[in-house]
Amino acid sequence: MADSSINLSGATRTNLLALQRTTDLISRTQERLSTGLKVNSAIDDAIAFFQSRSLSNRAGDLSVLKNTIDQGISTVETAVNGIGAISDLVQQMKGIALGAQSDASNENRSKAAIQFNDLRRQLDNLAIDASYKGTNLIKASPANLKVTFSEDGSSTLTISGVASDASGLKISAAAGNWDTDANILSSINTLDSALTTLRSTASTLGSNASVLTLRLDFTKNLVNSLEEGSAKLVNADLNNESANLLTLQTRQQLGTIGLSIAQQSEQSILRLF
């Protein structure tokens, strides 16, 4: 029985193996260029792959927290804007009270008291409307805002709401339609106290907003650092890989030429027989 196996010469076998290795390297380099990654799976580099995934996962968790912090800032800013608007209303109410105090006409004082009470109702409406995504820090029964900074929940900030409606500020309706100086003076004193409270509340909320802004910036920078660290572990150097591809393609061409020369040499020997 004839032997049907094909035997390759040493030179041909060497050139074929070299071409196969070069082809494999070209495929790997093309994959890196198409994906932008030098480590596409744990098979490529298990340590780098899982370290990169760990960094990416933490960056993802912090990105969720970053969004929560950002929403917290908006909630506090809404409350601060509400406090500002309420302060303006209280200033107007004080102006009305001072005008009534200098007016001896009971009729005019009564009209001023009606205007005062109308603004008082508007103050309550403002406090109710200063809500962001269902959280209101200044209404009659204010909510508290808890913002989490760390993935494990160990780092948080709780911002306590402050009732800043008429009742919370202890601003009562105009007593006796302001028919006496004592009634008007009582309202003025209450308004002065309310302004002091509002300024204190605004200062506290502003300070909390600053803390949230600092933590937001810190978290953004941390997320960027984690993503950059992850990229360093698995991203390919596209310039370097492009140069490698050109080198490998040249090597492949030379390998093909070498294989052709080896085969021609073998055929020349066979012609001798």
Q: What pLDDT score does 220 carry? A: 96
d(CA 147, CA 160): 11
Residue 257 lies in a domain: yes
146 and 258 housed in the same domain: no
**pLDDT tens-place string over residues 73-85:** 999 999 999 999 9
- How large is the average pLDDT for residues 95-121? 96
50 and 135 housed in the same domain: yes
Residue 21 lies in a domain: no
77 and 171 housed in the same domain: yes
DSSP string over the chain:
------PPPHHHHHHHHHHHHHHHHHHHHHHHHHHSBS--STTT-HHHHHHHHHHHHHHHHHHHHHHHHHHHHHHHHHHHHHHHHHHHHHHHHHHHHHHHHT---HHHHHHHHHHHHHHHHHHHHHHHH-EETTEESSSSS---EEEE-STTS-SEEEE-----STTTTT----GGGG-SHHHHHHHHHHHHHHHHHHHHHHHHHHHHHHHHHHHHHHHHHHHHHHHHHHHHHHB--HHHHHHHHHHHHHHHHHHHHHHHHHHHHHHHHHTT-
The rounded percent of the chain whose pLDDT value lies above 90 is 67
Supply the pTM of this predicted model.
Answer: 0.76
Residue 89 lies in a domain: yes
104 and 117 housed in the same domain: yes
Q: In which domain, by residue range, is 253 found?
A: 237-267
Q: What pLDDT score does 12 carry? A: 63
255 and 160 housed in the same domain: no
Q: Are 116 and 97 in contact (CB under 8 A)?
A: yes
- How large is the average pLDDT for residues 228-241? 81
Q: What pLDDT score does 99 carry? A: 96
Residue 54 lies in a domain: yes
185 and 141 housed in the same domain: yes
Task: Report CA Rg, the chain.
Answer: 39
Average pLDDT, the chain: 87
198 and 257 housed in the same domain: no
Residue among 87, 122, 106 at smallest CA distance from 184 = 106
Q: Are 65 and 149 in contact (CB under 8 A)?
A: yes
**pLDDT tens-place string over residues 31-77:** 767 777 788 888 888 999 999 999 999 999 999 999 999 999 999 99
The rounded percent of the chain whose pLDDT value lies above 70 is 85
Question: What are phi and psi for residue 200, nearest 5 degrees?
Answer: -65, -45
Residue 28 lies in a domain: no
Q: Are 62 and 219 in contact (CB under 8 A)?
A: yes
- How large is the average pLDDT for residues 202-218? 97
d(CA 64, CA 153): 13
Q: What pLDDT score does 264 carry? A: 62
Read off the tokens for 264: 């021609």
d(CA 61, CA 224): 13
Q: What pLDDT score does 7 carry? A: 56
175 and 114 housed in the same domain: yes
User: Would the CA dihedral through 23, 25, 14, 4 be positive or negative?
Assistant: negative
Q: What pLDDT score does 1 carry? A: 45
| Total domain count, the chain | 2
160 and 245 housed in the same domain: no
- How large is the average pLDDT for residues 189-213? 97
**pLDDT tens-place string over residues 112-163:** 999 999 999 999 999 999 999 999 999 999 999 999 999 999 999 999 999 9
Residue 32 lies in a domain: no
236: confidence class by pLDDT, cuts 50, 70, 90: confident
More confident residue, 87 or 234: 87
244 and 229 housed in the same domain: no
- How large is the average pLDDT for residues 243-256? 74
* CATH for 180: 1.20.1330.10
Residue 29 lies in a domain: no
Q: What pLDDT score does 270 carry? A: 47
204 and 121 housed in the same domain: yes
166 and 250 housed in the same domain: no
Nearest 10 degrees: Cα torsion 185, 174, 90, 166: 120
More confident residue, 26 or 179: 179
Residue 30 lies in a domain: no
